[in-house]
A and B are shown apart, each in its own frame.
Chain A
Amino acid sequence: MQQLARGEQKVYKRKKINFSVGQLISYLVLFAWSLSTIYAMFWIVNNSFKVSRDVMNSSFKIAFDPVMVNYTNAFDRINIGKGYLNSLIMSGGTVLLVLLFGGLAAYVLSRFNFRGRKALFSILYASLLIPAFATVVPVYELLIKTQLVNTYFGLMFPQTAGNLTFAILVLAGYMSTIPKELEEAAFIDGCNRFTLFTKILLPISRPAFASAAIFVFLWSYNDLFSALIFVNKEAVRPIVLLLSEISSQYGTDFGLMATAVSLTVVPVLIVYLFISKYIEKGLTEGAVKG
C-alpha cells in the first residue's frame, strides 16, 4: 500500500517536472520573439540620439550623451512636423468619413428589412477582393480632372471608399446583435429613425466604432501606395511618403534615418499601449468576420 502511494507520488512528481521544463522552453521562445520587437525598437531610438558616424561604427553602444542634431535636422531639413500634420489631417478625416457614412449604412443593413439587402451584402463581400492596384489609374485620372490631386481630399476620398467595406461589415455585424426591443421601445417613445440611430445605436455600438476607427486610421496612416500617387507634393505629403523618400535622398545619413523611424514609431507605440486592448478586441469581434 505504501509502495503504491509512493509510486503514485513519483509519477505525479515527474509530470510536474516535465510540465515546468515545457513551460521554461515556452517562455524562452516567447521572450526571444519579444526581444526581436523590443530590441529593434530600442536600437532605433538609441541610435537616433547619435551622430551618423557613431551609428555606423558603434550602433550597439548606448547613447549616454545624446545629441539632438538628428531631431533638429528632421524638423528643419525634411520638415517632418508638416508630414505629421498632413498625416493626421488626412487619416483623421478618412476615419470620420468612414465612421459617419459606414455607420449609417451599417445601421440600414443590420436593422432594416428590405428587398435587395442580401444582394448589397454580396456586393460588399465582393468588393473586399478589389485591391488598390485595380482602381488606382482611373482614380488618379478622376482626381486630376476634378483638381483634387495633391489636396487633402485627394487621399481622403479614395481611402474612404477603400475602407468603407471593412467598416460597414464590422459595424453591421455588431449592430445586428443589439436586441430589437430596445428600438421598438424608443420608437414608441417618439424617436424617429434618425434619433434612434444617434441616441440608441451609436452609443451602444461604441466599441465597434472604436475598433473600426483604429484599424481605418492605421491602414490610412500606413498606406504608402496611395500616398505615392495621389498626394506626393511637399505641401500635402504624409509621413509615410517622407519616410520612403529619406532612404533615397538621405541614404547615407544613418542618424537622420534612425530619427525619422523613431519619430514615426514612438508616438504610435505610446498610443498603442493605451488602446491595445481595444485593438485586439476589435480584431476578434469584427475583422475575422469581415
Chain B
Amino acid sequence: MMKGDRKYIVMFLLPAAAFMSVFLYYPFFKSLFLSFFRTKGFTTKTYVGLDNYVRMFSDNLLGAATLHTLELMFYVIVFQVGIALILAVLVDNITWGKGFFRTVFFFPVVISGTAIALLFVLFYNYQFGLLNTILQNLGFSKVNWLSESTALKAVAIPTVWHYVGFYFVLFLTAMTKIPSDFYEAAKLEGITGVKKTFLLTIPLIMSDIKVVITLAITGTLKVFEFIYVLTRGQNGTEVLGTYMYKKAMVDLNYGYGSTIAIYIVVFGVLLSLLANRLLKRDEITY
C-alpha cells in the first residue's frame, strides 16, 4: 500500500461500479422482484406471490421452447464443438497453411448473426432460394426448408456454422501448448496418427473441451438473432430467448417476462453445473 491508496481505489473503481450497479445488478434484482408481480405496463403492478412461477410450469409454450433450446443445444455441442475439434486436430497436424485456415475459419465469428441469418433467408427461400435452385437443377422437387418438420434443423445450421471458428481457435491454441516432448515420447512408443489424437491430444486438452462445452451451453441459451430473422419462432423454432422477448416486449407482460428471464438464468446455471460434473477430470498442468 502506498500513501493515499484508499482514495485511488475508490476513485478508480467508482465509474465501473456505478455503471454495473445501475445497468446490471440493479436490473437483475429488479427482474427477480418483478417476477412476483402481475404487471400492466410499467404503471400498475400487483403482488401475486408465486403465481407467475406456477403459470410457468403449466405453460406448454414455455415447455416447447425449452425442448427446442435443448435440441439446439444438442446440435451445438455435437456439431459445433465436434467440427471445431476435428478441424483443430487436422490443422494441428498439417505443415503449411495454418495461418490461412485460422483466418478463414474464424471469419464467420466476426460477422453479425443477423447478417448470417439474412444470408440464410436467401438460401432457404422456397421459390428462389439457393438450395431449391440447386435441387431443381439436379431434377429434384423443391423443399420447404422452414416447414414444421425441418425448421429447427434449418435454423441450427447457421447457428452452428457461426461459432465453429471460435471454438476451433480455442482448441488449436490448447493443442499448441502441449509440449512437443509428449509427442516425441509417443512416437517412440509407436503411437501416431488417429491413435495419437485419441490417446494423447484429446485427453490433454480435456479441460479446454470442458470450458468450450460450458461456453456452448450458455451461448445456446442466448440464441436470438437466427430465430428472430429466419422464422420469428414459427414452425416449432421458438427458443427461450425469443419466447422471453415475445412475452416481455411484444405482449408487454413484464412480470411474466421477468419470470421467464429468471428461469433462463437458473436453467443456465444448472446446465453448466451438470456439464462440469459430468466432465469432471483432474486438471493437467505441464
Contact = CB atoms under 8 A, between A and B. Distances in A.
B122 A257 contact: yes
Interface in A66-109: 97, 100-102, 104-105, 107-109
B53 interface: no
Interface string A115-149: 00000100000010111111111111110100000
Given A34-B104, A161-B20, A257-B121, A193 B2 contact: yes
B205 to A, nearest CB: 12
Interface residues of A, number: 92
Nearest to B170: A288
Interface string A240-265: 10011011000100100110110011
Nearest to A162: B24
B182 interface: no
Contacts of B193: 18, 22
Nearest to A264: B115
Interface string B138-170: 000000000000000000000001001010011
B225 interface: yes
A288 B207 CA distance: 11
A51 B240 CA distance: 38
B151 to A, nearest CB: 15
A138 B257 contact: no
A160 interface: yes
Contact of B16 (A105, A112, A244): A105
A247 B229 contact: yes
Contact of B101 (A30, A129, A144, A240): A30
Interface residues of B, number: 91
A239 to B, nearest CB: 8
Contacts of A59: 128, 130, 133
Contacts of B244: 133
A193 B104 contact: no
Given A136-B249, A137-B31, A244-B114, A272 B90 contact: no
B14 to A, nearest CB: 9
Given A229-B249, A265-B111, A56 B8 contact: no
Contacts of B229: 243-244, 247
A260 B161 CA distance: 20
Given A134-B265, A135-B24, A30 B90 contact: yes
Given A129-B268, A135-B27, A225-B241, A244 B225 contact: yes
Contacts of A157: 19, 22-23
A194 B7 CA distance: 11
Nearest to A262: B115
A283 B12 contact: no
A260 B225 CA distance: 16
Interface in A33-70: 33-34, 36-38, 40, 43-44, 47, 55-57, 59-60
A131 B217 CA distance: 13
A201 B43 CA distance: 48
Nearest to A287: B170
Contacts of A43: 130
A168 interface: yes
Interface stretch (A2-10, A203-211, A216-224): A216-224
A138 B26 contact: yes
Given A135-B31, A162-B24, A279-B106, A104 B161 contact: no
Nearest to B89: A26
A280 B102 contact: yes
A165 B17 CA distance: 10
A244 B268 CA distance: 27
27 contacts: A23-B94, A37-B104, A37-B105, A37-B107, A37-B108, A38-B104, A40-B119, A55-B128, A104-B12, A114-B5, A129-B268, A131-B221, A135-B27, A138-B26, A138-B34, A142-B22, A142-B27, A162-B23, A165-B24, A218-B110, A224-B114, A240-B112, A244-B118, A247-B229, A260-B118, A261-B118, A273-B103
Given A136-B27, A222-B113, A222-B114, 6 more contacts: A36-B161, A108-B12, A137-B27, A137-B261, A221-B112, A260-B118
